[in-house]
Amino acid sequence: MATASHVRSWLLVEQPGPWGRDALTASRLDRALAATLADRAKLAGVRVILIRRPGRPDPEGSPLRQVMFGATGPRAAWLERRWIADPAELLDLELERLRGDERPGLGELITDPVMLVCVNGTHDRCCATEGRPVAAALATRYGERVWECSHIGGDRFAGNLVVFPHGLYFGRVTAEAAPAVAGSYAAGRIELDHYRGRCGFDMLTQAAEHAVRERTGLLGVDDLRLGGRSSPGPGERVAHFAGPDGSAWRVRVKAVPTEPARALTCSALRPATPPHYDVVELTALPRSSG
């Protein structure tokens, strides 16, 4: 839990063919174009992810490719789509417009869930080994809603699945478990056993949300609404959540190191100690009458 990358704005670019470790600049995209796009996205606070269809041969000569724009902030979740004929059109996008909660109108609104499975084996071989069977299993059931994607963070949790528009991360998903995890999300519920967190929240807030869901059994995607947050000390967070029917909770979590150090990914060169999050307090607050 509480291991989803903290991302609020996304640019998903269809790019068939092989990807290198840094997928955007190590793909068949023009190198100068990719470098410029990477710089602009970094300045705008937008995460760029390459996507491609699972298990398909490289469609050389395809006239159009899909581009999707998304927001996964604490209070807004949407995904838009448009088609481009030339990758150079990517440099015409006003990426700064993805920062806010309001849709920028850069494309059509996507209403069905979109599912990304990390398969970037040149970043970490576990992602390809574990991710490709997951992508294939989901594509059999959900077809065009499913994409293979470049690195999304958390190689040690492969197979990794991210679902949009909410930006929910799921980890250690197998081909056998994938349809149930994705099916729960499509039905508006979270499969908690594989849930890594909501990427619009920082990791401490993800830990607080997970604690409330685990304690209460509130597994609806929209069951919890984040209220105020504060940081009483280093590595600490107090978060308030509102639930259905006026219910509310105050949660305090603290990051603590884990021991012993261990290799976190298939490609790790040295051991590391990822943080663990302790729930210091979880208090049900008086119900609101409104």
> Could you read off the pLDDT of 137-196 as tens digits, one per residue?
999 999 999 999 999 988 888 999 999 999 999 999 999 999 999 999 999 999 999 999
Using CA atoms, how far apart are residues 165 and 112, in angstroms rounded to an integer? 9
Detail the DSSP E strand segments found in the chain. Answer: 9-14, 47-52, 65-73, 76-84, 108-109, 114-118, 146-149, 161-164, 168-170, 195-198, 225-230, 236-242, 248-257, 275-285
Neighbour count for residue 133 (Cβ, 10 Å): 18
> Tokens 């504060």 correspond to what residue?
230
Task: Annotate 31-40 with b (16+ C-beta within 10 A) or e (fewer).
Answer: eebbeebeeb
The DSSP secondary-structure symbol of 262 reads: B
Are 210 and 2 in contact by the 8 Å Cβ rule? The answer is yes
Beta bridge partners of residue 257, listed in sequence order: 275
Are 241 and 208 in contact by the 8 Å Cβ rule? The answer is yes
From 182, 72, 166, 65, select the one nearest 117 (Cα to Cα): 182
> Side-chain half-sphere of 8: how many Cα atoms within 13 Å?
19
Query: What average pLDDT does this structure show over 219-228?
Result: 95
The per-residue pLDDT for 34 is 96
The per-residue pLDDT for 215 is 96
The per-residue pLDDT for 173 is 97
Query: What average pLDDT does this structure show over 268-274?
Result: 66
Using CA atoms, how far apart are residues 145 and 86, in angstroms rounded to an integer? 23
Across the chain, what does the average pLDDT equal? 91
Beta bridge partners of residue 163, listed in sequence order: 115, 168
Using CA atoms, how far apart are residues 287 and 247, in angstroms rounded to an integer? 5
The per-residue pLDDT for 243 is 94
Task: Annotate 270-284 with b (16+ C-beta within 10 A) or e (fewer).
Answer: eeeeebebebeebee
Coil, helix or strand at residue 7: coil
The per-residue pLDDT for 259 is 67
Query: What average pLDDT does this structure show over 72-96?
Result: 93
Beta bridge partners of residue 189, listed in sequence order: 220
The per-residue pLDDT for 262 is 62
Using CA atoms, how far apart are residues 141 and 149, in angstroms rounded to an integer? 18
The DSSP secondary-structure symbol of 67 reads: E
> Could you read off the pLDDT of 2-48 as tens digits, one per residue?
899 999 999 999 999 899 999 999 999 999 999 999 999 999 999 99
What is the share, in percent, of the chain residues with pLDDT greater than 90? Answer: 73
Using CA atoms, how far apart are residues 46 and 156, in angstroms rounded to an integer? 24
What is the share, in percent, of the chain residues with pLDDT greater than 70? Answer: 92
For residue 169, report the phi and psi dihedrals to the nearest 5 degrees: -100, 135
- Give residue 287's pLDDT band: very low, low, confident or very high (50, 70, 90): confident
**Which residue segments constitute the domains of the chain, with CATH numbers given?**
9-192 (3.40.30.10), 202-285 (no CATH)
Are 155 and 266 in contact by the 8 Å Cβ rule? The answer is yes
